[in-house]
């Protein structure tokens, strides 16, 4: 009976897809956009007429290509994390945890890509064509299965990453359809508000932050009561400079501070040391990401190494993180003196004010990541306060839904996807996705694609990148 119901479902899906493609009562927008594009996709590749072995072979090729592309990202990411936590010196950690983690996370990306491709082939076999629903249902199923390959402790981070990607894509799609209008400095405002929320929970209720968020906040802004080794070293350097150059006090702890402050330094030195610490961290991390891929190319490494001290992107990240930490400390100390209380509002206000330094960085990735982390913290707080109930398998559902949105948007409206994500899809598919986009290009202008002006600008940007695809 199960097979009977399955066969009936397949017939219903096939009939529905044929009706929806050929229906003359479609809206003007969907008819002018989807119908020509469906025909183009049908001509580009039609696995419904191909032997299943071809689809299987292509899926395997995508798995291998995606594994390689993901490993190029995960290797420096995991190694840098191990260096920061000082675990890289342990051979046992490298063999038992670091290498297996890199392999498993890279395999997860490959599995999702391969299952998506094979599912799309199967969908076209069922419907007999290229229906838009295929490119939503197939990645949804692929993500639902593939997420179980990833390590449980990393699934939350992956979900947060893909949610903020999908949120931006949906926002861009809505702007392209003139449903909403972007607000000037809107992302900066959201970042400032989100950072204030994270800072509040960081100092008042860390249980509302995930493990990775707690670690990130400790690295970014530090803690008042427990300075890390870098902050202690910088404090000693500050004491030496003040004593040698300005004939200041011999100890930094004897400097004046508000009685409500629980840091060991004076308020001024506490802020200056915080700025220097976060600046060095941001500068070092950004430099490592710029230089690590060149370790196997000594000539390029020698040429690029001196440039990092004048690179605007690297320096701006250092100044941005320095202001988040040093500016936050200074404003909190000022608010303690003015308000005379320490009730959590100081952290929220200080975080919101220094969050406007986001204009120095302006990275959409950073802004959306902090926004998603703040939303997660608020959700955890609401669950803790019993205002809402936790949703069973909610994170996995959101991951699957967001992945489906991203893959759907990548096929039909790629100009609404972040360019960094677009480049990754091209590499992870072994250039197959890039060839599909190039084949679409001649007819997109005639399809009435939403956000046509943005698409034309995007086309000019990606044309050099796709030249050798």
Rounded-to-integer distance, Cα 288 and Cα 77, Å: 10
What is the predicted pLDDT for the residue at 6? 41
> DSSP string of 169-199?
HHHHHHHHTTSS-PPTTHHHHHHHHHHHHHH
Contact 191, 367 (CB under 8 A): yes
Burial string for 415-443 (b: 16+ CB within 10 Å, else e) reads bbbbeebbebbbbbbbebbbbbbbebeee
What is the spatial distance between Cα 386 and Cα 380, in angstroms, rounded to a whole number? 10
Distance CA 322, CA 271 (A): 10
Beta strands in 177-261 (DSSP E): none
Q: Quick one: pLDDT at residue 443? A: 61
Contact between residue 213 and residue 381 where contact means Cβ atoms under 8 Å apart? no
Give the pair of three-digit tokens for residue 398. Answer: 């959101």
Structure tokens at 98: 């670091």
C-beta separation of 399 from 162 below 8 A = yes
- In the block, residue with structure tokens 């320095």: 322
d(CA 80, CA 253): 33
Number of H helices, E strands in the chain: 21, 0
Report yes or no: 38 and 21 within 8 Å, Cβ to Cβ.
yes
- Which residue is it, tokens 């070293």? 233
CA dist., res. 362 & res. 3, Å (int): 54
pLDDT of res. 404:
92
User: Tens of pLDDT along the chain (469 residues)?
Assistant: 444 334 443 333 333 343 333 333 333 333 344 444 544 444 444 433 445 577 788 888 889 999 999 998 888 888 877 776 667 777 788 888 888 889 999 999 999 989 988 888 888 778 776 677 888 889 999 999 999 998 888 888 888 889 988 998 999 888 888 888 888 888 899 999 999 999 888 888 888 887 778 877 877 777 666 666 667 677 767 766 766 666 555 444 445 556 667 776 777 777 888 888 888 888 887 777 777 666 666 676 677 666 766 777 778 888 888 888 888 888 888 888 888 887 778 889 988 999 898 888 778 888 888 888 898 889 889 988 888 888 888 888 999 999 999 988 888 888 888 888 888 888 888 888 887 777 766 666 666 677 777 877 888 888 888 777 6
Is pTM beyond 0.95 here? no
Contacts of 137 (CB under 8 A, 6+ apart): 119, 123, 404
| CA pseudo-torsion sign 110, 115, 120, 121 | positive
Distance CA 242, CA 225 (A): 23
**How many angstroms separate the CA atoms of 68 and 142, rounded?**
19
Angstrom distance (rounded) from CA 77 to CA 94: 14
Q: Which of 286, 333, 294 lies closest to 311 in space, CA to CA?
A: 286
Q: Which two tokens stand for residue 258?
A: 């508000």
Q: How far is CA 156 from the centre of its chain?
A: 12
Residue 107: per-residue pLDDT = 92
């Amino acid at each position: 009976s199960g097979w009977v119901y399955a066969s009936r479902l397949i017939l219903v899906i096939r009939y529905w897809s044929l009706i929806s493609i050929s229906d003359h009562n479609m809206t003007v927008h969907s008819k002018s956009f989807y119908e020509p594009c469906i025909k183009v996709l049908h001509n580009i590749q039609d696995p419904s007429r191909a032997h299943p072995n071809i689809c299987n072979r292509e899926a395997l090729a995508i798995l291998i290509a995606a594994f390689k592309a993901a490993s190029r990202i995960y290797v420096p990411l995991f190694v840098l994390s191990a260096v920061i936590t000082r675990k890289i010196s342990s051979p046992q950690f490298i063999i038992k945890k670091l290498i297996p983690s890199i392999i498993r996370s890279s395999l997860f990306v490959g599995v999702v890509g391969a299952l998506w491709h094979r599912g799309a082939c199967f969908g076209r076999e069922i419907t007999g064509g290229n229906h838009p629903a295929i490119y939503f249902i197939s990645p949804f199923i692929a993500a639902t299965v593939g997420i179980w390959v990833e390590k449980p402790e990393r699934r939350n981070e992956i979900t947060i990453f893909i949610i903020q990607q999908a949120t931006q894509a949906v926002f861009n799609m809505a702007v392209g359809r003139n449903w909403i209008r972007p607000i000037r400095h809107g992302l900066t405002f959201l970042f400032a508000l989100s950072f204030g929320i994270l800072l509040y929970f960081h100092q008042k209720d860390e249980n509302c932050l995930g493990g990775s968020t707690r670690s990130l906040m400790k690295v970014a802004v530090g803690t008042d009561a427990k300075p890390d080794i870098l902050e202690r070293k910088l404090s000693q350097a500050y004491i030496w400079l003040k004593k040698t150059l300005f004939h200041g006090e011999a100890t930094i702890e004897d400097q004046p501070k508000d009685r409500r402050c629980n840091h060991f330094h004076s308020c001024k030195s506490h802020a200056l040391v915080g700025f220097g610490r976060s600046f060095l961290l941001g500068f070092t991390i950004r430099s490592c990401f710029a230089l690590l891929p060149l370790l196997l190319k000594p000539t390029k490494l020698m040429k690029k190494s001196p440039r990092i001290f004048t690179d605007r992107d690297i320096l701006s990240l250092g100044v941005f993180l320095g202001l988040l930490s040093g500016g936050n400390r200074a404003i909190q100390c000022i608010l303690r003196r003015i308000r005379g209380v320490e009730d959590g509002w100081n952290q929220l206000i200080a975080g919101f004010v220094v969050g406007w330094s986001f204009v120095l960085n302006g990275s959409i990735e950073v802004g959306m990541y902090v926004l998603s982390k703040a939303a997660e913290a608020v959700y955890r707080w609401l669950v803790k306060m019993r205002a809402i109930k936790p949703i069973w398998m909610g994170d996995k559902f959101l991951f699957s839904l967001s992945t489906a949105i991203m893959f759907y948007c990548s096929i039909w409206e790629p100009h609404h996807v972040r360019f960094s994500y677009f480049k990754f899809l091209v590499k992870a598919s072994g250039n197959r996705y890039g060839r599909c986009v190039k084949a679409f290009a001649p007819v997109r202008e005639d399809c009435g694609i939403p956000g046509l002006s943005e698409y034309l600008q995007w086309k000019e940007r990606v044309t050099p990148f796709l030249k050798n695809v």
